[in-house]
Amino acid sequence: MLMISPRMASGTQEKQYTPSLLSFFIYNPKFGPREGEEEKKILFYHPIEVEKNEKIRNVGLCEAIVQFTRTFCPTKPAKSLHTQKNRQFFHEPEENFWMVMVVRNPMIEKPSKDGKPPTVEYQEEEILDSVYGAVLQQCYSMYKLFNGTFGRSFEAGGVELLIQKLEKFFYRYLQTLHLQSCDLLDVFGGISFFPLDKMTYLKIQSFVNRVEESLSLVKYTAFLYNDQLIWSGLEQDDMRILYKYLTTSLFPRHTEPELAGRDSPLRPEVAGNLLHYGRFLTGPANLKDPEAKFRFPRIFVNTEDSYEELHLIVYKAMSAAVCFMINASVELTREFCEQLDALVGPQLTLLASDICEQYNINRRISGPEKEPQFKFIYFNHMNLAEKSTIHMRKTASVSLTSVHPDLMKILGDINSDFARVDEDEEIIVKAMTDYWVVGKKSDQRELYVILNQKNANLIEVNEEVKRLCATQFNNIFFLD
Amino acid sequence: MLKRDSAGTDGGLPENTSLEESSDFTVLLSGTELKQSESSSSLGSDCSSASQIQTSQNEEVMTDGWRSRRKHVFVLSEAGKPIYSRHGSEEALSSVMGVMMALVSFVQVGGNTIQSIYSGHTIVFMQKGPLVLVSASKSRQSELQLRSELLHVYHQIVSMLTQASINRIFQRRKNYDLRRLLFGSEKVIDGLLDVMESEAGFLLSAVQCLPLASSSRDVLNQVLQKAVTPNLVLSLLVTKGQLLSIVQEKMVIEDARLKPSDLHLLLNLIRASTSFQTGEIWTPVCLPRFNPDCYFYTYVAYLDPPECSVCLVLLSTDKEAFYAAAECKRKIEEGVRNNSVLQSISKAQPCQVRHVGVAELRHFLYMPFDVPDHYGQLPQFTPEVEAPYATGEERVRLMDLYRHLHSRIHSSSRPLKLLYHSTQRETLLAWPQVTGKFEMYACFSPLVNKSLAIGAVTKLLRWIKKEEDCLFICSPPKYST
């Protein structure tokens, strides 16, 4: 059973299709319980061109499957449906509200001779339920961050308001899903933390405290540097989805004006403010213009208990970005923004260059930055910290990995195995390509290491991983 | 199928096998239950007792008890008619089965095929001809394995009816109620499902041999080789569910190859019907992988009443060959008695892990591959399971662990060369046949480190090499004519 890349397998032109979104819909069976009312259940359906009856049938199938699985266990209904050609994922984020995502299985199209239609081979095993299930859940989390829960919208404005919100959000959001590059990191939904020394960390803490004291309206703050988190006052689950939004949507849209060319519209107006490099990423793009209208995006946090709606102010200076969250009931005026700008701009600019300097010093001490020796992924369930030396620059659209996708899927398999039991475990495998993969789970932390040592045996591999753990993960993993 | 006492008085031979007209086969099969003795310790150690099965059939469906079952298996026809259910009466489940069929059809209409549903259970669908089989399992086995189990269930049904018959029946009458033909044989399928949970043979597609000194095995081989009759295809001796000797007709070995799964099904069928001590059985059996459309005729008898531990099975293509088969049995009995082999058989122990002499090793599975090409069967060697896996539950749990290892290393898209899994309860190692020589799975205490584990494996392999003559049937003999 060799793993030959399909492209090598035959001499003719083979087309490899990656997984793609076939459809995505949201429904609530309670909204159309009687016969003839089925259409009322459907709150959102993509693609919109699908004929009404087919939409009803597809929703009906999902309802039937959920009901059917309840036959065997009423409390654990369907999570996914596997068919030859596609896979459907089910998620019930709020009672009776169901989200369904249908993904087309990756396939290989092999041309046939004699003008016959090409044969298609579906590769069902290439899709991991854990990965795409997590992607679907994240769709809900992202929606909820900007729109609050389904239930509240329904209470506030009935089905019409809910449908409107869903349409507005998902129409755009679905376009940002890049299903072909989802992997283990989507399962974790973790946060990359910026490594800091104690002094600098304290400087940042005191900066946050000062600002929160001066601007009493600020309820929560989060501090990031270089797309990595340093400090957050938000609950973990809220921060993780906000972090995803910031790093995959907001930040990539705003490149640094200092780096922008002379004729770029991003270059700030020179007049006046040379005191700092601070600027708003949300809200007023240009404080100088008194006529310009602005508004801040609203986010919803703590939806399980206090259910707060907040303005999201994201303010950036060089590589440092701060999020200020203020109760949405307050009207944020231009004066307030100018006050914030004057207060935060200079301090943040200074802080940003401090951090940069300190970071460079640290790097010089620890040695030149060569290609990281080990390819690994680390995740800590307790603080959501994740680190990957396998994934290279994450852009908004794609996160590239430096290892073969099959190895990433093996990591996904090991992660699924870890999830079966709530105990410390270790799994070591040797793949067909002679790569070794070591997975360790210890006390809520998971570590995956990929070793390209074809001739090593189990004991040698073990020694290698021990070395890695000694340098990077001291005292975390129990080793034999 | 006919039950006869050893005096061999005349009775009717089995009627014709056009099963649409008569349900002889299954009536006869169920008729054997009448003579079940109290101490039926014969082959059935792995099979649940009849009383347990009775309860299962009468079980209330949709209750907490029913829902808590580890695995449900359903068989229905394309028309949605219930045929079999592992737990609970299939009649009571007919509406659920209707839903299953509806799901299958709905997806089919879209030019697609439903494969499985994942919830708290894994629900797997399989269609074979006019039958639909569904498994709903909490066992967390892979989809591939659950489907392979369903295939075995399908094949067991075929072994009783033949595939050609099944297809023909449903072609004529889509609404046919197959239970009419399978009445009384639910316990065969129940037994099969039980055995698949706790035995490794199905997982590895291999059969287990009783370790026997090669001299004794040679004697048995010779005795079987000589006792032939025209149209005899296969002779085998089985004890305690393990193979003693198997002799095949030349063409069987070379062209057609008896598959281990056929052998398992055959043994299961016999297990379910031989709850008697004395007497002989003559019954049609279909071997689905060998030829799914026709019957062989099987002669089954015990060589050692009243213990009834050594079972002789003769397979013939001739419907009328009962007397010839009985004559073979007589010769074999004589040969076995003359050589006092029965004693060595009864003394022979299924091997135990402690014989290997490696302290950290708790259990292992080993399957050699370097047998001559023409040998179709893959012997497999599973020692007796001892503490801490001696209880039924622990045994199934151990098998679950092996099954999981198997599914990972034999994944169709990302197979592995080695898998080492260390948990709080045990450490497992899976080493597939990349070298071409063998496949093995080992289970150690959780306290081993990797060096100890590798050391233990090395010692184990050495021991197996030393003992392989009596552990495995290395070259299956052919009939001597």
Residue pLDDT, tens place only, B468-479: 877 777 666 777
Residue B403 sits at the chain A interface (C-beta within 8 Å): no
Q: Please tell me the number of Cα atoms within 13 Å of A236 on its side-chain side.
A: 11
C-beta separation of A387 from A378 below 8 A: yes
Do residues A34 and A145 both lie within one domain?
yes
Residue A47 DSSP label? S
Residue B144 sits at the chain A interface (C-beta within 8 Å): no
pLDDT given at position A80: 97
Residue B107 sits at the chain A interface (C-beta within 8 Å): yes
Number of domains present in the structure of chain A: 3
Which chain B residues are Cβ-neighbours of A71 within 8 angstroms? 62, 96, 99
Task: Please tell me the distance in Å from A386's CA to the nearest CA on chain B.
Answer: 24
pLDDT given at position A255: 67
| Better-predicted residue by pLDDT, A28 or B380 | A28
Indicate which CATH number applies to the domain containing A466. 3.30.450
The count of other CB atoms within 10 Å of the CB of residue A173 is 16
Do residues A391 and A311 both lie within one domain?
no
Task: Please tell me the distance in Å from B314's CA to the nearest CA on chain A.
Answer: 37
* Residue of chain B whose Cα is closest to the Cα of A442: B423
- Residue B252 pLDDT greater than 70, yes or no: no
Do residues A65 and A210 both lie within one domain?
no
pLDDT given at position A414: 96
- Residue B52 pLDDT greater than 60, yes or no: no
Q: Is A477 contained in some domain?
A: no
Q: What is the 3-state secondary structure (H, E, C) of B156-194?
A: HHHHHHCHHHHHHHHHHCCCCCCHHHHCCCHHHHHHHHH
- Residue B16 pLDDT greater than 60, yes or no: no
Q: Which domain holds residue A356?
A: 198-366
- Residue B111 pLDDT greater than 60, yes or no: yes
Residue pLDDT, tens place only, B142-197: 999 999 999 999 999 999 999 999 999 999 999 999 999 988 888 899 999 999 99
Residue B117 sits at the chain A interface (C-beta within 8 Å): yes
Residue B68 sits at the chain A interface (C-beta within 8 Å): no
Which of B67, B109, B119 should we substitute to test contact with A (largest number of A Cβ atoms within 10 Å)?
B119
Residue pLDDT, tens place only, B206-217: 888 888 888 888
Cβ <8 Å between A425 and B419: no
Residue pLDDT, tens place only, A281-320: 998 887 778 788 888 999 999 999 999 999 999 999 989 9
- What's the mean pLDDT in B65-70? 91
* Residue of chain B whose Cα is closest to the Cα of A431: B416
Q: Is A139 contained in some domain?
A: yes
Residue B451 sits at the chain A interface (C-beta within 8 Å): yes
Q: Is A251 contained in some domain?
A: yes
Boundary-marking domain end, from A342, A366, A390: A366
Kindly give the parts of chain A with pLDDT less than 70: 1-12, 255-275, 366-372, 393-399, 475-480
Do residues A14 and A45 both lie within one domain?
yes
* Strand partners of residue A385: A191
Cβ <8 Å between A85 and B112: yes
- As to burial, measured by CB atoms within 10 angstroms (0-12 exposed, 13-18 middle, 19+ buried), residue A266 is middle
Q: Which domains does chain B have, with CATH numbers?
A: 44-198 (3.30.450.70), 207-348 (3.30.450.30), 353-471 (3.30.450)
- What's the mean pLDDT in B41-66? 52
Do residues A274 and A213 both lie within one domain?
yes
pLDDT given at position A367: 58
Boundary-marking domain end, from A345, A366, A387: A366
Q: To 5 degrees, how large is the angle CA B186–CA B190–CA B191? A: 115
Boundary-marking domain end, from A331, A366, A401: A366
pLDDT given at position A360: 85
Q: Is A331 contained in some domain?
A: yes
Q: If contacts are CB pairs under 8 Å, which of residues 147-176 in chain B contact chain A?
A: none
| Better-predicted residue by pLDDT, B445 or B345 | B445
**Alpha carbons B310 and B243: distance in angstroms, whole number:** 10
- What's the mean pLDDT in B435-441? 81
Phi and psi dihedrals of B410, rounded to 5?
-105, 25
Which of A71, A103, A403 should we substitute to test contact with B (largest number of B Cβ atoms within 10 Å)?
A71
Do residues A170 and A229 both lie within one domain?
no
What is the 3-state composition of chain A as percent helix, strand, coil, each rounded to the nearest 5?
Answer: 40, 25, 35
ipTM of the complex: 0.89
pLDDT given at position B349: 76
Do residues A146 and A14 both lie within one domain?
yes
Residue B120 sits at the chain A interface (C-beta within 8 Å): yes
pLDDT given at position A265: 54
Q: Is A142 contained in some domain?
A: yes
* Residue of chain B whose Cα is closest to the Cα of A89: B118
Residue B411 sits at the chain A interface (C-beta within 8 Å): yes
The size of the A-B interface in CB pairs under 8 A is 145
Cβ <8 Å between A72 and B113: no
Do residues A148 and A41 both lie within one domain?
yes
C-beta separation of B111 from B104 below 8 A: no
Q: Closest Cα to residue A98, out of A173, A145, A42?
A: A42
pLDDT given at position A235: 94
Q: Is A190 contained in some domain?
A: no
Does this model's pTM top 0.80? My answer is: yes
- Residue B48 pLDDT greater than 50, yes or no: no
Phi and psi dihedrals of A386, rounded to 5?
-130, 150
Q: Is A306 contained in some domain?
A: yes
User: What are the angstrom distances between the C-alpha of B272 and each of B33, B42, B188, B303?
Assistant: 9, 11, 6, 18
Do residues A230 and A304 both lie within one domain?
yes
Show the tokens assigned to A380.
């800590």
Indicate which CATH number applies to the domain containing A142. 3.30.450.70
In this complex, the residue of B67, B411, B451 whose CB is nearest that of residue A72 is B67
Do residues A334 and A385 both lie within one domain?
no
Do residues A358 and A254 both lie within one domain?
yes
| Better-predicted residue by pLDDT, B55 or A388 | A388
Q: What is the mean pLDDT of chain B?
A: 79
C-beta separation of B284 from B17 below 8 A: yes
C-beta separation of A250 from A282 below 8 A: yes
Do residues A268 and A406 both lie within one domain?
no
pLDDT given at position B359: 84
- Residue B455 pLDDT greater than 80, yes or no: yes
Q: Is A478 contained in some domain?
A: no
User: What are the angstrom distances between the C-alpha of B142 and each of A263, A439, B219, B401?
Assistant: 60, 20, 43, 12
pLDDT given at position B276: 54
